[in-house]
Structures are given as structure tokens and as C-alpha cells.
């Protein structure tokens, strides 16, 4: 791991990370484990079991769960298993989501619109609902949602609408649960460099038009960043783990853009 590790920052904490088989979710889980946390990695890809095994071989306390978080039953089962592992959940990082198709809105079919919202809003809605009774019983806990600055971006309107919902959920839920000592916060990543995905979110660009539409996203993402570049996985994980930690104990209801100056 190239970024600085804050030794002991999560010692004694039970942390559940969704979408943890690769990308930002994996980087967050690995960082928290390196900082002393006991992590439960949740993903619908079987790959998550291999990832957890690799973390354990490195000395981490890591457990893996496969679940379809687009359905409430899957979210509830995953949260229940995570709690059973440690008797509590101190932090939930909701990282499931991602653009499936990239094109102007008039080219989306109704089924594609529904699928985008199902992928990028409902897993966060469901897992928040599933974990709340446990956190309220504890009178403590932190939820970190991973949103996106693409709420203001081209060729991803259904995804943008879903992530706008994540922002609203973060703000509204924070108001409701502060009385129980629970914080709800979010980051809004911008474009992020990452290795090729081992499990694809959706079909790759097939036609020259598909490729042009995707390139428009890249161009707009870089152009909107004051730093004129994509971020790194470590830069995204640093913001998420900060908000998840006790260092951010006086922050709730906020969405932190992590996009080189693009506010979304």
C-alpha cells in the first residue's frame, strides 16, 4: 500500500465494507485492516472470498460474505452475518454502485434506466435500513456512503440520479439518527484510476459511437477537475477511512467531494 497507514486507528472496530472485491472497496478494506480493524468484505462476486483470504494471509482479521445487495433480503442477510462475526458493527462503508452504460439519456431504454438506479441507489438504501436497528441498539456507529461527483456530468443521467439519491439519503438519515450517536457521511469520488476490473459492471463499449460517448465522460471528468487528472484508489480510500474514523467524530450529514476540485 503506497499511502500512509495510521497504525491503530481502527483497533477494536468492526467494519463492514460493501463492493469490496475490487477497486475502491478493496482498497478501503485493506487500509482499515492495516490500521487494526476487523473487516467484513461484502460483494456479490465470489472473488470476494479470495480477496479476504489474501488479507488474512497478510495478518488481517477479514471475513467475506457474498450477497446481492440490490435486494433487501440480500442486504439484511449480509448485515446479519457481519454482526454475528463480531457482535457489533461500528462502521458500514456502502461502496456498491457504478455506471453500467455510458450514453446520452435519450438512448437509454426503460429497463436500462431501472437497472442503473437499482445498481447505484438501492444497495445503499437497503444496507442502511438493515444496519440501523443494530446501530440504534448500540447507540453508536458510522455509515459512510460512496456517492459521486457525476451527479453533474454527461452521458450518465440515470447513474447521476441514483447518486443524487445517495446524497439525499446521507443528509436526511443523518438528521434522524444523530440522536442515537450515529453519524452518516459520504464521499463523492471523481474519476479514479484503477486496474482493469476482474468483474465487469456492464458491457464494454461495442461501437465507435459507444467509444465516443465514453470518451466524452473522460474528457468532462478531467476538464472539471482543477487538478486535470484522475485520482488514485489510495486518494479515495484516504477520504473514506478518515470519515469512518473517530477523527471525523464531529462530521455528519456531509458529502465530501474527492475529485481534484470538482464539486459535482
- pLDDT by residue for the chain (264 residues), tens only, comes to 456 789 999 999 999 999 999 999 999 999 999 999 999 999 999 999 999 999 999 999 999 999 999 999 999 999 999 999 999 999 999 999 999 999 999 999 999 999 999 999 999 999 999 999 999 999 999 999 999 999 999 999 999 999 999 999 999 999 999 999 999 999 999 999 988 877 776 776 679 999 999 999 999 999 999 999 999 999 999 999 999 999 999 999 999 999 999 998
Question: Active-site residue numbers?
Answer: 159
Residue 5 belongs to some domain of the structure: no
Residue 86 belongs to some domain of the structure: yes
The structural domain count of the chain equals 1
Residue 1 belongs to some domain of the structure: no
Residue 201 pLDDT? 66
Cell of 168: 439525499
Residue 19 belongs to some domain of the structure: yes
CATH code of residue 120: 3.40.50.720
Residue 59 belongs to some domain of the structure: yes
Q: Which domain holds residue 129?
A: 14-258
Residue 8 belongs to some domain of the structure: no
Residue 253 belongs to some domain of the structure: yes
Residue 169 belongs to some domain of the structure: yes
Amino acid at each position: 500500500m503506497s499511502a500512509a497507514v495510521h497504525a491503530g486507528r481502527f483497533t477494536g472496530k468492526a467494519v463492514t465494507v460493501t463492493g469490496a472485491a475490487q477497486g475502491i472497496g478493496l482498497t478501503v478494506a485493506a487500509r482499515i485492516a492495516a490500521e487494526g480493524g476487523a473487516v467484513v468484505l461484502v460483494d456479490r462476486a465470489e472473488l470476494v472470498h479470495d480477496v479476504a483470504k489474501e488479507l488474512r494471509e497478510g495478518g488481517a482479521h477479514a471475513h467475506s460474505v457474498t450477497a446481492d445487495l440490490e435486494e433487501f433480503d440480500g442486504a439484511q442477510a449480509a448485515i446479519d452475518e457481519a454482526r454475528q462475526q463480531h457482535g457489533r458493527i461500528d462502521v458500514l462503508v456502502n461502496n456498491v454502485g457504478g455506471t453500467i452504460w455510458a450514453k446520452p439519456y435519450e438512448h437509454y431504454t426503460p429497463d436500462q434506466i431501472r437497472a442503473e438506479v437499482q445498481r447505484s441507489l438501492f444497495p445503499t438504501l437497503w444496507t442502511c435500513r438493515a444496519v440501523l436497528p443494530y446501530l440504534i441498539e448500540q447507540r453508536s456507529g458510522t455509515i459512510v456512503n460512496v456517492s459521486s461527483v457525476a451527479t453533474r456530468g454527461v452521458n450518465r443521467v440515470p447513474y447521476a440520479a441514483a447518486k443524487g439519491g445517495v446524497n439525499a439519503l446521507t443528509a436526511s438519515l443523518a438528521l434522524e439518527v444523530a440522536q442515537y450517536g450515529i453519524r452518516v457521511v459520504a464521499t463523492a469520488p471523481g474519476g479514479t484510476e484503477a486496474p482493469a476490473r476482474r468483474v465487469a459492471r456492464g458491457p464494454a463499449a461495442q461501437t465507435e459511437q459507444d467509444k465516443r460517448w465514453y470518451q466524452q465522460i473522460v474528457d468532462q471528468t478531467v476538464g472539471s477537475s482543477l487538478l486535470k487528472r484522475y485520482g488514485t484508489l489510495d486518494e479515495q480510500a484516504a477520504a473514506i477511512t478518515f470519515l469512518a474514523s473517530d477523527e471525523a467524530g464531529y462530521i455528519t450529514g456531509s458529502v465530501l467531494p474527492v475529485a481534484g476540485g470538482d464539486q459535482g
